[in-house]
Each structure stands twice: as C-alpha cells, then as structure tokens.
Chain A
C-alpha cells in the first residue's frame, strides 16, 4: 500500500509553490485586488510566474504540454495557495477546466489543454443554479435544432466566470429537472450571442459570476462527452474539484491557525501572555488535532484519485466535509483568539474567515458531503 507521505519530488513542488505564493502572491496582493476593485481579480504578472513554474499544467499530460504531476502534486500547490489566499485562475482552469477536458473531451477538444497549461486560455465551470450545490438538478435546457443546440438558463457561483475564455455549462438535453440522466456538458464561448456574464462579489474578494444563457446557439461540436450522459464524468470531476478545495481549505486553515497561535504568544493581558491560559491552550490543541486529521484525509483522497481507486469518491467527499468543518472551526476561533483586533479589517485573520465560507460552499459543504458519505457507505 502506498505510504501516506510525500515523495521527494512532491515535497520539492510543495516547497517551490510555497516560495512562489509567499513572495509573489502574499495576502497583501489579495487585499489590494479587493481594495482596487480590480477588473480582472488576479495579477497577470503573478499568473505568468505560476505558469512559468508549470503550475497551470500540473495535471495535464506531457503530450499536451503539462507536467503530469498528478493530484497529490497539484494538491500541494492548492494547499500552499490557500495559505496566502492567492487569487489566480489555477483552480477554475488548471483543475476543473483541464480535468473536464481530460475526462470527457474528444481529441480536438483536448487540443485546448496546451493553452490551459501555458496559461493563455482560461476555463470556468458553470453548473450551479441555486445557492446550495445540487449538481444533478439542472433546469437549464439545451434543445436540439439544426444539427446543433439552443441553450436557455441561468447559472450562478461560476468561479472565474467573467475572465474565462470558455465556459463549461451543464444543461438538460432530456428528462426533467432532478433526473440524473439527460444532462449534457457544453463548451460555450462567453462572447457568443445571448450569453451574459455578470461578475458578482463575495466576502472573499475573489471572482464569481452569474451566467445567463438566452437562446444561445452552439454547434454539435460544443458537446463535451456524450449527450445525456454527463452525470458520471461530472461526478468524477466534482470529486477532483472537492479534493482540491479541501486542500485549499487545509492551507488556509493551517495558516489561520498558525497566525492565531503566534498572536497568543505576543498578546499580553493581566500581565501575562495569553498563551499561558489553559482554556486557550486546549482549544488550540484541539484545532491542531483536527487539522492533522484533515491533512491525512486530503492526502489520501489525492492518492486515491491518482490511483483511480474505487474509494476515491468516498475519500474526496469525506475530505471536503471534514476540511469544511475544520475550516469553519479554525477561522472562527482565529478571529476570537485575536479578540477585538480580529474584528478589524486591518488584521489579516478576517480575510481567512471570509475566504473559507465560499470555498466550503463551493461544490458542496459539510452537509452535502456528509450526506454523500452516508449514501456511499450504504446508509
């Protein structure tokens, strides 16, 4: 059985990613993007550096311009990016976009992988239609017409939607709203007639969009994978996405925790450091213990994905569930342990809290995944 430790190469990638994020995309970068209401929502110079390091192509085969480093490798990058709250198209494009094409794309669609790896082509996945994640509830319709399709519907919470060059849209080609069968994925050009992409703001200052499709005409070559049969590859794609979001949550929770512990060691009250109070020590020790569990679960989920293990769905959902729960605990406690300072915008700790919630909700929160774990376990 594969050992639950990083290989030397994976550790090197993690170290390289940590160096890049801490030097080129520190928390202050996100703060500036937010304050400037930056229209792109990321810093192109930083994105170029990440691409040069090969990060955008971490999951992409060498034949298509990537480094084929696997989910464990990309997971280390996601975790390190979580530590500095780095804003970049890495998740939407390098994880979801790349994997969608790899899982379901035909040879000509896979040609785009090269441009994803070199950072020039950005992707976004548009599947949610309501506040809570329910990927198989699809009301957006695609009606066959003249050898192609006409799309109508609304999507929400589309990560990096407003900067994407291609949208991956789920739409119903048959059946009714809640059916598993009858869903099809389409590659949609956001500039096509009838597509409206509206950027929406969230507490984390990152990029999400609402996408409206009004009589959008696409050709049959826009179908990604098989018509009516998107549920299976989509589920697999969501397993991958959730494992990587769990890694980001692990990174941001670990950083929030480290900052809270550091603050406990410098803040004095009643003439002593607050780190000397046992009531606080035990809460910190509990959080550390919880973070250790998340770390193991995330690593195992990635290994299972890389090995195409039949436990991968269970492990990915369990990891996302636990990572969400622990992120909620640690970011809330992070603010509390900073006292009044934790409520100020000046201190960074609040930024971790505000990033955690959208990531928790994205592709399903604790409740969604706990339900899935129960179903996969047969109860």
Chain B
C-alpha cells in the first residue's frame, strides 16, 4: 500500500471516530458556520468539540507547518482529507479570516516571533480576525488610504477610520493597512500592522446593508497603540503584502461563481420551483436564460481549474485572479437574479419561517456586493486591460 493510501485509511478511520454525527450534514443556513474566537456562541457542544478536535490535529489549517500548529500535510494529503470529509459530508470545522487571509501572509512575510504568537491560536480557532483595508475615502483607490501610524519609538499611535470591516464587532484582532510615511509615493508608505480589538481607542459600528443584515462594520481608531513588533514584514513595505492578500481574497470571492459540492444547481432549484413540462423547465424563456447561465458556469469552473493546473505547471498569465474574480462574481449575481425570477413573487418574501426559498431576498441582495468587495468589477477590468493586454 502506498503512503497516500495508508493516509487515506487512517484519515477515514479518524474522521469516523471524531466527527460528531450532527456535524455530518451541509449547513442549513449561514448561521451554522463556526467562526471561533473569544466570544463565539457555539450552536452546539458538537460544534465546539468538532473544532477542538480538528484544531488539535492542525486540520483546520492542513497545509501549515506543524511547528505553528498546522497539519503539516502535503497538497496530496490535504486533497485526501478534503475528499474524506466530503465523503461523510463533514462540515468545515472553522470559517476563519485568520486561516484564509492573515495566516498565509504571516507565514510568507512575518517574523518568527509573529508566527509563533499568532498562528497556533488561529489554527485552534481561539482568535478571530478581521481585515482593516478600505476607508471612507479609499475604496477602489485603496493605496490612497489615510489612517496614520505615528512613530513613537517602540510603538505606533494609530488614528483613522476603516470601513467594510467584515464582522469587526465579533473579531478579536485586526490586521490593518496604515500609512507610516505620508511623504513618499502612496504605495511606498504603507505598513501592515496587527492589533487586539480590545486595545483602548478601538470601536466598531455595524453598517446596515440593503439586505437588512450587518455583516460589515465601520471601525474607528482613536490613538490606538500598536507595538512595533506587530508589523508584518518591513515598515513602509506593506503594499506588496496587501496585494498578495487581495489576490487571495479575489480568488475566494470569485469562487462564489461555482456551485459547491452537495449544493443544488440553479437549474435544479428552478425545476423545484417551476416543474417540468415534457421534460423541459415549464417556463421556456427562463429555461433559455438558465441554459445560458449553466454554460457560462461550466466555463467559469473549467477556467478556474485550468488556472490552477497552469499555475502548478508554471504556465499561464499572472493577474488571472482578476479575470476569475470578474467572471465569478458576475456569474453569481446572475444566478441570484435567475433564482428570484424562478421563484417569482414567492422568492421575494422578506421574512417568515415558511418561505419557499428561505432568505433568498437577503442572499440575492448580498450578491450585489460581490462585484464591489475585494476590488470592483471595474478595477478588475482595469487590471486585465493594463497588465495583461497592455492597453493604456
């Protein structure tokens, strides 16, 4: 038996023993996700246990090195772990901006001390992170950010305001872009700093969105003390890391274009809502539009697959994440428009427990942000035009 086959058997056995039964079904709503952190209200003891067990093994961050609490798995082993989890429909034990975003950046750019301080609690789900990038005056022009960090010898004093901070009101720490040098080209005076959200001077205010929900906050920074050893990478060199993280974020957001395993496709949902006549979706015009969407979604998923394969083979153009972000988010917006159309007025029922499409109006409205967050569609098109096509 090869090592990988052994690994698969061991993984299967471990999951069988350690994944609680109630964690073996797809999320019923976004509220089933586990985010961890100091103040997280677990939905159930099983949810807490599942995170604890996976965290101890480092399998919340399977490919991170074991010395920082990670699973130390190879890419192939990680793939097997994913497959074995999918086999029993195991829920992801942890949703985490720590694992998705700042962790990889610390691993790549951070000091040894930062890695030892921050990575293990991220893996165990003990500390929940939020991202302080955008500002009221710095959206698409992110590098124009104005939050100031004044050098006070062994620390900085930070003043400014961040906006669109996902779950800032629930997070324990923030990674933020701040201006450490106002006298140079705007990209060259930015640093990436880390601080505890309980530091005096940090306050948050949720923003109510068109969906009625408040996943984002404004974050106010008023004379916030940030230690100098909490700078990731070098002072004034944060823009490179910011771009690295944005690329990462773009592929995550773009991924919304795909239909996750186990999730019903747009066509299946439309059939549920409308039924078939002579084997065809009962509304012919909608059938045409959904067919067109389905073709585009096949194209998107294959392009994401090809981009990964080309990257592994050392081929392909850079900046491809801009294209995937653009295509994926526009696709997701179209999917929700078509879903609303398929359910008709029943799909727009704003509240109540017996809605045929559940919280569809809220989810539909949330998708409108997909082509804005993480760099707007227009910014992605600019990147393609300038960096790939050389138009200027």
CB of B384 within 8 Å of the partner chain: yes
In terms of DSSP, what is the predominant structure of the interface of chain A? helix
CB of B318 within 8 Å of the partner chain: no
Closest to A372 in B: B291
Q: Are B381 and A286 in contact (CB under 8 A)?
A: yes
For the complex formed, measure the closest distance between the CB of B327 and the CB atoms of chain A, giving whole angstroms: 6
- B378 proximity list for chain A (CB < 8 A): 282
Known: A5-B315, A289-B327. A296 touches B276 (CB 8 A): no
Known: A285-B389, A295-B306. A375 touches B279 (CB 8 A): yes
Q: Are B300 and A374 in contact (CB under 8 A)?
A: no
Most buried by B among A284, A292, A373: A292
CB of A294 within 8 Å of the partner chain: yes
Q: How far is the CA of A282 from the CA of B383 in the complex (A)?
A: 10
Known: A4-B306, A5-B309, A375-B279. A315 touches B323 (CB 8 A): no
- B295 proximity list for chain A (CB < 8 A): 318, 321-322, 369-370, 373
Closest to A261 in B: B389
Known: A4-B309, A292-B323. A379 touches B392 (CB 8 A): no
Q: Are A299 and B306 in contact (CB under 8 A)?
A: yes
Q: Are B326 and A289 in contact (CB under 8 A)?
A: yes
Q: How far is the CA of A251 from the CA of B388 in the complex (A)?
A: 19
Q: Are A374 and B313 in contact (CB under 8 A)?
A: no
| A88-120 near B? 1/0 per residue, CB < 8 Å | 000000000000000000000000000000000
CB of A145 within 8 Å of the partner chain: no
**Total A-B residue contacts, Cβ distance less than 8 Å:** 127
Q: Are B306 and A379 in contact (CB under 8 A)?
A: no
CB of B382 within 8 Å of the partner chain: yes
Q: Which of B267, B303, B309, B382 meets A374, CB within 8 Å?
A: B267
| B276-309 near A? 1/0 per residue, CB < 8 Å | 1001110000011011101110111011011001
Q: Which of A5, A264, A276, A293 meets B303, CB within 8 Å?
A: A293
Closest to B310 in A: A5
Q: Are B294 and A377 in contact (CB under 8 A)?
A: yes
Q: How far is the CA of A146 from the CA of B176 in the complex (A)?
A: 88
Q: Are B323 and A288 in contact (CB under 8 A)?
A: yes
Known: A276-B392, A379-B267. A374 touches B310 (CB 8 A): no
Q: Are A370 and B288 in contact (CB under 8 A)?
A: yes
CB of A191 within 8 Å of the partner chain: no
Q: Are B391 and A275 in contact (CB under 8 A)?
A: yes
- B288 proximity list for chain A (CB < 8 A): 367, 370-371, 374
Q: How far is the CA of A288 from the CA of B303 in the complex (A)?
A: 12
CB of B390 within 8 Å of the partner chain: yes
Q: Which of A248-263 contact B (CB under 8 A)?
A: 261
Q: Are A374 and B299 in contact (CB under 8 A)?
A: no
Closest to B270 in A: A379
Q: How far is the CA of A315 from the CA of B303 in the complex (A)?
A: 13
- A56 proximity list for chain B (CB < 8 A): none
Most buried by B among A288, A289, A374, A377: A289
CB of B73 within 8 Å of the partner chain: no
Q: Are B381 and A285 in contact (CB under 8 A)?
A: yes
Q: How far is the CA of A278 from the CA of B327 in the complex (A)?
A: 19
Q: Are A374 and B306 in contact (CB under 8 A)?
A: no
Q: Which of A276, A278, A379 meets B271, CB within 8 Å?
A: A379
Q: Are B384 and A289 in contact (CB under 8 A)?
A: yes
Q: How far is the CA of A332 from the CA of B349 in the complex (A)?
A: 42
Q: How far is the CA of A322 from the CA of B331 in the complex (A)?
A: 14
Q: Which of A347-375 contact B (CB under 8 A)?
A: 367, 369-371, 373-375
Most buried by A among B268, B292, B300: B292
Q: In which size bucket is the chain B interface? A: 35 or more
- A286 proximity list for chain B (CB < 8 A): 381
- A4 proximity list for chain B (CB < 8 A): 302, 305-306, 309-310
CB of B312 within 8 Å of the partner chain: yes
For the complex formed, measure the closest distance between the CB of A263 and the CB atoms of chain B, giving whole angstroms: 11
Q: Which of A311-331 contact B (CB under 8 A)?
A: 314-315, 318, 321-322
Q: Which of B309, B326, B391 meets A265, CB within 8 Å?
A: B391
Known: A289-B384, A379-B267. A374 touches B391 (CB 8 A): no
Q: Are A284 and B271 in contact (CB under 8 A)?
A: no
- B388 proximity list for chain A (CB < 8 A): 285, 288
CB of A281 within 8 Å of the partner chain: yes
Q: Which of A281, A373, A375 meets B391, CB within 8 Å?
A: A281
Q: Are A375 and B280 in contact (CB under 8 A)?
A: yes
Known: A281-B385, A284-B385, A288-B384. A322 touches B296 (CB 8 A): yes
- A261 proximity list for chain B (CB < 8 A): 389, 391
Known: A289-B327, A293-B296. A284 touches B389 (CB 8 A): yes
| A292-309 near B? 1/0 per residue, CB < 8 Å | 111111011000000000
Closest to A374 in B: B291
Known: A5-B310, A379-B267. A293 touches B299 (CB 8 A): yes
For the complex formed, measure the closest distance between the CB of A268 and the CB atoms of chain B, giving whole angstroms: 14
- B300 proximity list for chain A (CB < 8 A): 293
Closest to A377 in B: B267
Q: Are A318 and B299 in contact (CB under 8 A)?
A: yes
Q: Are B385 and A285 in contact (CB under 8 A)?
A: yes
Q: Which of B324-345 contact A (CB under 8 A)?
A: 326-327
Given A294-B299, A373-B295, A379-B287, 14 more A-B residue pairs with CB atoms under 8 Å apart are A5-B309, A285-B385, A289-B326, A297-B299, A318-B299, A369-B295, A370-B288, A370-B291, A371-B288, A374-B287, A374-B291, A379-B271, A379-B276, A379-B281
Name 29 A/B residue pairs within 8 A (Cβ), A-sorted.
A3-B313, A4-B305, A4-B310, A275-B391, A282-B385, A284-B385, A285-B381, A285-B389, A288-B384, A288-B389, A289-B384, A293-B300, A293-B327, A295-B303, A296-B305, A297-B302, A314-B298, A318-B294, A370-B291, A370-B295, A373-B291, A374-B281, A374-B294, A375-B279, A377-B291, A378-B267, A379-B271, A379-B281, A379-B287
Which residues in A have some Cβ–Cβ distance to B below 8 Å?
3-5, 261, 264-265, 275-276, 278, 280-282, 284-286, 288-289, 292-297, 299-300, 314-315, 318, 321-322, 367, 369-371, 373-375, 377-379
